[in-house]
Amino acid sequence: MREIALPDFPWDTLAPYGDKARAHPDGIVDLSVGTPVDPTPKVVQRAVRDAADSPGYPPTIGLPGVRESIVEACERLYGITDLTPEHVLPVIGTKEIIGTLPTLLGIGVGDTMMIPELAYPTYAVSAAFAGAQSIASDGYTRVGPQRLALTWINSPSNPTGRVLGIEHLRKMVAESRHRGVLLASDECYIDLPWEGAKPLSVLHPDVRDGSFDGLVAVHSLSKRSNFAGLRGGFIAGDPQVIARITEIRKHLGFLVPRPVQQAMIAAYSDDAHVRAQRTVYGERRQLLRAALLEAGFQIEHSEAGLYLWATRGEPCWQTVDLLAEKGILVAPGAFYGAAGATHVRVALTASDHAIEQAAARLTS
């Protein structure tokens, strides 16, 4: 049996700082995780209730209405033209597809993946789970001629909120195709832009250069639609890749529950709730950003997404400890790579009252 060399679960190391924050006289304000706290939209809740009587197995490929609603949303919201249902596959939350994609593609021992230098840990975990190696880099130049089996990019980024510009994306597409490497783009925060240019999908016609070949994009409903507890999203792009992973998932029984699929149709067909939630996060972001700046932090990147990437120019664990003394728990940048050693990730996913408390503690 092959031993899977997985890293320690990073959040376990944060537990003592959580205990310190909870000891604050007014309790803890937890800004360390990106878990939505606002209600799931009514339109989504109704769809789940209406589909509760679902005795049969749902199709792995997804109900026709799911794929059609995704195709329509991709053109309406992200300017992705020429998609068809054959380009799209619903998934059981995007962490699932990110975590299993190398395995589904047959990547394994002896293979190497490139992941972002500052990154959501699941990219590296997915490589380890498959028996492959991972290299952290934000471009092919630093990797050199090494043969790669898969490249991940993430824009807007978790944790930094960085948005990759069109020229960067086009270069990544061109170089991936030149090398014969599948380029996978994690776009789970694309619906939450704040500053600068609007984030572009790797599947956008101005980026993909006339073809979906060698490209896939991953999208999530968790953040935009407070859907994290239901687990729904999709992967789209190169139809040959989509067909391959669909076939394997059929054999493995990876099925999005039918009520969730109906809820996905509702979520992708309604833009009003996304705009409303973005307004809520925008107000929280404005308040928290101002408080951090007043408290002597610098905010870097953070053009989009649900986090502020903040630094005091000191080791991140020192900053985590300082904020825990104030009853505020944040994530150390070291969780996301060595380049985050002097930063912390501050989440916007807390109630209005909690954000107000955090701002007051920061500036008092």
User: How far is the CA of 42 from the CAs of 108, 189, 272, in angstroms?
Assistant: 43, 22, 11
The verdict on 146 and 283 lying in the same domain is: no
Which residue is associated with the tokens 């995780």? 33
Question: Could you state, in chain order, the average pLDDT of each consecutive group of 10 residues for the chain (364 residues)?
Answer: 67 91 97 96 98 95 95 98 97 96 96 96 95 93 89 98 97 97 98 95 97 98 97 98 97 96 98 98 98 98 98 98 98 95 98 98 94
Instruction: Look up tokens 């959040």; give the residue.
Output: 11
Inside any domain, residue 263: yes
Tokens of 146: 């090494």
Q: List the one residue out of 263, 132, 360, 1 whose CA is nearest residue 123.
A: 132
Q: Kindly report the backbone phi and psi dihedral angles of residue 302, in degrees, each rounded to the nearest multiple of 5, phi listed first.
A: 60, 30
Query: CA-CA distance, 264 to 255, in Å (whole number)?
Result: 14
Q: What is the pLDDT of residue 142?
A: 82
Q: Which amino acid is it at 146? A: Q
Give yes or no: residues 28 and 109 share one domain: no
Whether 216 is in a domain gets the answer yes
Q: Give the end of a domain, one of 203, 235, 270.
A: 270
28 and 168 in a single domain? The answer is no
d(CA 153, CA 150) in angstroms, rounded, equals 10
Q: Which residue has the tokens 């694309």?
A: 190
Q: Can you tell me whether residue 248 is helix, strand or coil?
A: helix
Instruction: Please give the Cα distance from 201 to 169 (Å, whole number).
Output: 9
Does 277 lie in the same domain as 244?
A: no
Of 245, 270, 295, the residue that ends a domain is: 270
Q: For the chain, what is the domain count?
A: 2
Name the residue range of residue 287's domain. 10-39+273-363
User: For position 309, which CATH number holds?
Assistant: 3.90.1150.10
CATH number at residue 200: 3.40.640.10
Tell me the β-bridge partners of 216. 184, 237
pLDDT of residue 141: 85
Q: Is the peptide bond before 36 cis (omega within 30 degrees of 0)?
A: no
Residues 89/222/203/86 CA torsion (nearest 10 deg): 10
Q: What is the pTM of this model?
A: 0.95
> Are 106 and 239 part of one and the same domain?
yes
- Assigned domain for 294 exists: yes
- Over the Cα atoms of the chain, what is R_g? 20
Q: What is the DSSP letter of 343?
A: E
148 and 132 Cβ atoms separated by less than 8 Å: no
**What's the pLDDT score for residue 212?**
98
Q: What share of the chain is helix, strand, coil (3-state, %, to 5)?
A: 45, 15, 40
Distance, CA of 66 to CA of 46 (rounded, Å):
16
Residue 106's pLDDT is: 96
Q: 243 lies in a domain?
A: yes
Phi, psi of 110, rounded to the nearest 5 degrees: 95, -10
pLDDT of 7 reads 66
Q: Which two tokens stand for residue 74?
A: 């991709």
Residue 122 sits at φ, ψ, to 5 deg, of: -65, -25
Please tell me whether residues 153 and 288 are part of one structural domain.
Answer: no
The pLDDT of residue 251 is: 94
Q: Which of 117, 33, 28 is nearest to 334 (CA)?
A: 117
